[in-house]
Amino acid sequence: MTGYTPVPDAEPFRIKMVEPIRWTTREEREGLLEEAGYNLFLVPAEAVYIDLLTDSGTSAMSDAQWAGLMRGDEAYAGSRSFYRLREVIRGLLGFEHVLPTHQGRGAEHVLFSTILKPGQLVLNNMHFDTTLAHVQHRGGIAQDLAIAQAYDPTSAHPFKGDFDLSRLERALKEHGPAKIALVMATVTCNSGGGQPVSLANLRQAAALARSHGVRFFLDACRFAENAYFIHEREPGWTGRPVREVVRAMMDVADGCTMSGKKDALVNIGGFLAMRDPALYRQATVWAVLFEGFPTYGGLAGRDLEAMARGLEEVVDEEYLRHRLGQVRYLADRLRDAGVPLMEPPGGHAVYLDARRFLPHLDAEQLPGQTLAVEIYREGGVRTVEIGTVLAGRDPATGANRHPELELVRLAIPRRVYTDRHLEWVAASVIRVYGRRTAMRGMTMTEEPPVLRHFTARFRPIA
């Protein structure tokens, strides 16, 4: 075998179990779209050929994780599976205290109930929707402080998730620890396109928070993907072992929230982890109330076991090379055909820039929604709008909010689809691109007052 080099980015796994997916005809999809009010959340998953709605809870588990389900200890208190999970988190992330939660937002609920008082601020590079909602639910004020390049889809900045450190410093100086409950870094920055945060920036942001007496947490959902970008791109860190990078990222933080549905490679689960024993004791009170006894937190013992094993697997460098390579592969196919993307591609998803894709539509004609619907109609591929529909209305004026980015996200589930599937995705998007000038936009016909994107109904503009 001398001279043999493996195909770069080839799958470092083989497939032991398969799940059939169903092809639909264009006529079927037309009918389904009409029934669903042109809202892809309302299309049955069985009628989706390739589902890129989210990378959350959609991972394929490994044989070791499935075996772990059988080994789960279902004790109400002090389950062996909990101790195992805690050991993995202590070893990998370095946080002493661990509270399992049913998913990421459960961890947010417990954390903000513990540390946030009404009127206080939370500073983040960019809040994810559930994080924002939990801050507001506690009467807090959320501020996004990512660098300006984060809002420019054409900028190829390697770490678009970075904090704007001068704005962060200004906010810390102006408001101080009495008014600021927390500084949080979302890694990778989902709302900004799955973009990584550099270690240098994390360190500086954490140091600023600390020097002003404010806690620093990570929203660690996609911590391993972030670490791999650092391993690939960051001067001084290129080629360093991913586990070392992960530890360096965590070392600057007082704790983290985690959705296991992303980088713990499970279908359900999450946790809140921290160093401070006093904070842990306070958080435990809320954890018991919202999630369950502190050693199970809304999960079955088997879920804890699967999450422990997933956290070990996700930092495997062969896995991460394939993972990020696959996302890049899809982006390359699309870019080669001239499709406007959010650059550079993120860790978990490729984002289409709907504003440049459909420049003849204005925001009120819902270009992102129009594009997502067309891609499903064309190829049975489900994506999600991250634009005007998701942004909702300003509660004061009632007018549509106009977000800085109008995107369609193609989130890639982990270990689920092959490159051939992604070729189909690319071909479908490219065909839609070829007939883009014929698209007339959509209008909303039914609009729920909150979280409208899940249940709103639309019709095409004639």
Q: 3-state DSSP: the chain helix, strand, coil percent, rounded to 5?
A: 45, 15, 40
Q: Which residue has the tokens 């809304």?
A: 298
- Does 153 bind ligand F0G (CB under 6 A)? Our answer is no
382 phi and psi, to 5 degrees?
-100, 130
Cα separation, 116 vs 297, whole angstroms: 21
- Does 56 bind ligand F0G (CB under 6 A)? Our answer is yes
350 phi and psi, to 5 degrees?
-105, 135
Binding mask 230-259 for ligand F0G (x = CB under 6 A): -----------------------------x
The correct pick among 103, 295, 369, 388 for binding ligand F0G (CB under 6 A) is 103
* Residues in binding contact with ligand F0G, number by CB under 6 A: 15
- Does 186 bind ligand F0G (CB under 6 A)? Our answer is yes
Please give the radius of gyration of the chain, using alpha carbons only, rounded to the nearest integer.
22
Residue 103 CB, nearest approach to ligand F0G (Å): 3
Cα separation, 187 vs 462, whole angstroms: 42
- Does 127 bind ligand F0G (CB under 6 A)? Our answer is no
- Does 144 bind ligand F0G (CB under 6 A)? Our answer is no
Binding mask 6-45 for ligand F0G (x = CB under 6 A): ----------------------------------------
The correct pick among 219, 234, 343, 353 for binding ligand F0G (CB under 6 A) is 219
Cα separation, 379 vs 67, whole angstroms: 35
Half-sphere exposure for 101 (CA within 13 Å, toward CB)? 27
Stretch binding ligand F0G (CB under 6 A), from 100-108, 114-122, 149-157, 437-445:
100-108
Task: End-to-end CA distance of the chain: give it in Å, rounded.
Answer: 62
The correct pick among 29, 86, 109, 261 for binding ligand F0G (CB under 6 A) is 261
Paired tokens of 206: 């954490």
- Does 195 bind ligand F0G (CB under 6 A)? Our answer is no
Helix locations, 408-459, DSSP H: 419-434, 452-455
- Does 52 bind ligand F0G (CB under 6 A)? Our answer is no
Give CA 158 to chain center in angstroms. Answer: 18
- Does 131 bind ligand F0G (CB under 6 A)? Our answer is yes
- Does 190 bind ligand F0G (CB under 6 A)? Our answer is yes
- Does 54 bind ligand F0G (CB under 6 A)? Our answer is yes
Amino acid at 190: N
List interacting residues with ligand F0G (CB under 6 A): 54, 56, 103-105, 128, 130-131, 186, 190, 219, 221, 259, 261, 270
